[in-house]
A and B are shown apart, each in its own frame.
Chain A
Amino acid sequence: MKREGKTFRTSVVLIAMLLLLLPVSTLLAGGTQEAETADVESFSWQNFEGQKVRLMMAQKQWAQIVEPLLPEFEKLSGIDVVAETFPENQFRQKLSIELASGTGSADVFMADALVGGPLYYKSGWIQPLNEFLEDDNLTAAEFDYSDYLDAVKTAATLDGSVLGLCSEVDGQILYYNTELFSSLGVAVPETLAGIEEAASAISTKGGSDTYGIAMRGMGPKAVSQWSTFMANLGGWWVDNNGDADLTSDKNIQAFEMYGRLLREYGPPGAANLDWPDALSVFAQGKVGMFCDAASFRKTVVDPDSSRIVDKWSARSMPPGPNGTHPMTNSWMLSIGEGSKVKAASWLLVQWLLSKDMVLESLMQGIPSPRSSAWKSSQFTSQDKYPFWTEAFMQNLKTGNPQFQAPVINVAKAKDIIGPVITAAIAGEDVSKAAEKANVELQVLLEEERQKYGQ
């Protein structure tokens, strides 16, 4: 009995200690960074030395270039940068969760100027950069925001607030395998309809392991690429009243053309192709044409990833009856509204997007958001791929920046429209799928009109 009583008392003491330790350990586990001060007298890269900035990036070509260069910034500023990079799909989802949770842990992050940027801003998760750009004590004299292309500045601005600074402007171009085209005697397409003729010829003459074209086929992911076909054929997301118009003749034609191209002349499993898969198949030399972002040039010319390093060329997306309006997009670097190191984060952003860094990215194939980079003698004298430059310049002239439905909740719109593309690839009734999607899109449009008063 005595021994059992002693065991009982010991148990009580041990367990009470454990329970007491729980809240204490929680307090110790999460440190908080002191709120930074922006009370600096003049600009210096070392103004916020000792602070820590968390940088979240999507595994895009631009991130692969800048990430190895971050130690240079750390040495210059004394700011510790914790960089995290994720595949694009997982990045979007992780970022959304972190921003929605309100922890303020994402200091600097990449954001798509159209898909995500406006939603994040409307939700109060993005710190507008206007005050930083206007403060000479926080912005280096040589930064020069006016050097940014007008279209790019417009894309990253909403209601007068600068949501972020563009790290890359991008757009859809048509890559093609010159060896396949010349060996099979196929002409490079000059029109949108010509793409189908060329794809058919390559598939027929090339044999069982050669495909005419590769593009994104994974429903929601393919919507942006499909938008070029829509715009070039004269279709649009909404009618003149701002109501959903996916069932218009031109839109149906665009869905059917896109689906037919992948179904008849694309690699097997096209319905599950995202851009890394389509790019990979093209870089392996199995595909005649690839329609997607200009920034993917980096992979096409990389001898470690590509078998067609010197067997490719590019042109702007061929025009349809409505001209050529290829999708144009930009990714930007934004600062989180909940960040406790905003000024230090701003130093990182302006360093990453300085004239020198942007030129370096352009030299490696990332279309530049700054005009000085395109005009620099370093670029023009060493441009090994003038056809790529010309293709992209056309994109800047006539590109379509509204490459998703005109809503704030773009992710939902992509999920609504994506199944129509999937139906087209599978050879199903596109009109029926489009009708269903149109109803859902209209519901979304009306919800947003009520919510945002648009």
Chain B
Amino acid sequence: MNRVDRSTYRLFLLPMAVLLGLLLIPPAIYIIYLSFFSWGGSAITPPLFVGLKNYVKMVGDDRFWLGLLRTFYYSGTAVFLSVLIGYCFALILNRKILGVKIFRSLVLLPMVSTPVAVAVTWVIMYNPLSGVFNWFLSLVGIPPQLWLSAKASVIPSIVFVDSWMGAPLVTVIMLAAFQALSDEPIEAAHIDGASAWQRFRYIIFPMLKPYLISATTLRVIDSMKNFDLIYVMTGGGPGRASETLNLYTFLNGFFYFEFGYSSVLAITLFLVIMGLSRILAKWRERQWQY
């Protein structure tokens, strides 16, 4: 690329860089600043400097630790389920079968649906009294379930919806991966007598790993910061059984008007997600070195 091309390339990136910078950097700086203050958003009482008090409060806050644990539980199950479902859909869509184009459109629909509309719809379907899921169960003689109304089943119920929405993204990535797979090593292994499982285990899967890790990284970020599904479906209930760290952060900011403490929680969540993303990125880099 010559000097003019590089300058043009940078110039075209400049507006977006400026816009992102204005949108991301000042709020981030403000949140870090606010984390050292106690402030309720009052127009009368200005923020009060409290130093590290909010950070100390977080360390001793049981609700924070429980929220963090629930976030890991929620994210872990949602990522596993969506990657598994997405991968299976990609395998199906990669075949030349009748109706594959229609199936492809249907599979991708959840990804483009509005999360709030999806959440409201699933709440209706999960209704223990009049919801369609319990009706299906009644047809096969299974007693009605409480779904979102029971502490044990609330997170799995929401995770199922999250996975339903997140699987198409994995499908798209894995379809691209299948297209990029080189046929030669697979054919060579086939000629050498490797079974289907051996071909998958020793050749195909290692080639797909970087793509799987990329898909997993995106799903981890999405699921760990998921807010709209949980807020609309349960508001963190019953009790606090579905209250993740992101929701707790929101409640502290906009329900309890503790913007300083809410900032600390937001920073912590950001660092956790960034840390996990870095670990996954390092792992993916190693996979490219085969």
Please list the residues of chain A having a beta carbon within 8 angstroms of any beta carbon in chain B: 4-5, 7-8, 11-12, 15, 18-19, 22, 89, 93, 96-97, 99-100, 102, 119, 122-125, 218-219, 267-272, 281, 286, 337-338, 409, 411-412, 415, 418-419, 422-423, 425-426
User: Which residues does chain B contribute within 8 Å of A5, judged by CB atoms?
Assistant: 4
> Known: A15-B11, A100-B41, A124-B43. Is A422-B239 also a contact (CB below 8 A)?
yes
Is the beta-carbon distance between B255 and A96 smaller than 8 angstroms?
Answer: yes
Please, how many angstroms separate the alpha-carbon atoms of A286 and B11 in the complex? 67
Q: When each residue 42-53 of chain B gets 1 if its CB lies under 8 Å from chain A and 0 otherwise, what string results?
A: 111100000000
Q: Which residues, 139 to 165 on B, are CB-close (under 8 Å) to A?
A: 144, 146-151
State the Cβ distance, A278 to closest chain B Cβ, in Å: 11
Known: A218-B237, A415-B255. A269 touches B129 (CB 8 A): yes
Taking CB atoms and an 8 Å cut-off, the chain B residues in 240-255 that contact chain A are: 240, 251, 254-255
Alpha-carbon distance between A22 and B19 when the two chains are bound, in angstroms: 9
Interface of A is mostly: helix
Sorted nearest first, the 4 A-B pairs with minimum C-beta distance are: A269-B128, A100-B41, A269-B149, A124-B43
Task: Determine the interface band of chain B, counting residues with CB < 8 A from chain A.
Answer: 35 or more
Whether A122 lies near B42 (C-beta < 8 A) is: yes
> Are B240 and A11 in contact, CB atoms less than 8 angstroms apart?
no
Residue of A nearest to B38 (CB): A451
Whether, in the assembled complex, B135 has its beta carbon less than 8 Å from a beta carbon of chain A, the answer is no
Query: Among B5, B45, B149, B235, which residue has its beta carbon within 8 angstroms of that of A268?
Result: B149
Given A15-B15, A267-B129, A271-B149, A89 and B239 touching (CB < 8 A)?
Answer: no
Asked, given contacts A96-B255, A122-B42, whether A89 binds B235 with beta carbons under 8 Å apart, the answer is yes
C-alpha spacing A123/B18, complex, angstroms: 35
Number of residue pairs A-B, CB distance < 8 angstroms: 107
Q: A123 touches which one: B41, B147, B235 (CB < 8 A)?
A: B41
- Check if B148 sits within 8 Å of A272, measured CB to CB: yes
Extra contacts besides A269-B146, A286-B129, A411-B255 (8): CB < 8 Å: A11-B8, A11-B12, A19-B18, A22-B18, A93-B255, A218-B237, A219-B238, A269-B149
**Among B42, B128, B234, B257, contact of A409 (Cβ-Cβ < 8 Å):** B257
**Cα distance A119–B148 in the bound complex, in angstroms:** 32
Confirm or deny: B77 has a beta carbon within 8 angstroms of a beta carbon on chain A. Answer: no
Complex Cα–Cα for A124 and B234 (A): 32
Kindly provide the distance from the CB of B111 to the nearest chain A CB, expressed in whole angstroms.
Answer: 25
A96: contacting residue among B15, B44, B239, B257, CB under 8 A: B257
Which residues of the other chain, B, contact A122 by a CB distance below 8 angstroms? 42, 44
Interface status of B67 (Cβ within 8 A of chain A): no
Residues of A within 8 A of B15 (CB): 15, 18-19
Which listed residue (B7, B18, B40, B146) contacts A8, Cβ 8 A?
A: B7
Could you write out 14 A-B pairs with CB less than 8 Å apart?
Answer: A4-B2, A8-B4, A11-B12, A12-B11, A22-B18, A89-B235, A99-B41, A100-B257, A123-B43, A123-B44, A269-B149, A272-B149, A423-B239, A426-B150
Nearest chain B CB to A158 CB, angstrom units: 14
Give chain A residues whose Cβ lies under 8 Å from the Cβ of B251. 415
- Report B248-273 CB contacts with A as 1/0, cut-off 8 Å: 00010011110000000000000000
Chain A residues whose CB sits within 8 angstroms of the CB of B129 once the complex forms:
267-269, 281, 286
Chain A residue numbers with a CB within 8 Å of B11 are: 11-12, 15
The answer to whether B238 touches A422 (Cβ under 8 A) is yes
A100–B252 Cα distance when bound, in Å, is 13
Once the chains bind, are B255 and A269 in contact (CB under 8 Å)? no
Chain A CB within 8 A of B14 CB: yes
A314 to chain B, nearest CB (A): 23
Distance, CA A100 to CA B238, complexed state (A):
28
How far is B20's CA from A22's CA once the two chains are assembled, in angstroms?
13
Cβ-neighbour of A125 out of B43, B239, B256 (below 8 A): B43
B127 at interface, CB cutoff 8 A = yes
A15 touches which of B5, B12, B19, B237 (Cβ 8 Å): B12
Which residues of B lie under 8 Å from residue A125 when comparing CB positions?
43
Contacts of A272 in B (CB 8 A): 148-149, 234, 237-238
A421's closest neighbor in chain B, by CB? Answer: B239
In the docked arrangement, what's the CA distance between A337 and B234, Å?
33
Cβ contacts under 8 Å, B146 to chain A? 268-269, 271
Chain A residue contacts of B147, Cβ below 8 A: 269
**If the complex has contacts A269-B127, A271-B150, are A419 and B240 also in contact, measured as CB distance less than 8 A?**
yes
Who on chain B is nearest to A93 by CB?
B254
Complex CA gap A422/B236 in Å reads 12
CA distance A124 to B149 in the complex (A): 38
With contact pairs A8-B7, A422-B239 given, residues A102 and B128 touching in the complex (Cβ less than 8 Å): no
**Other-chain residue from B7, B128, B237, B255 in contact with A422 (beta carbon distance below 8 A):** B237
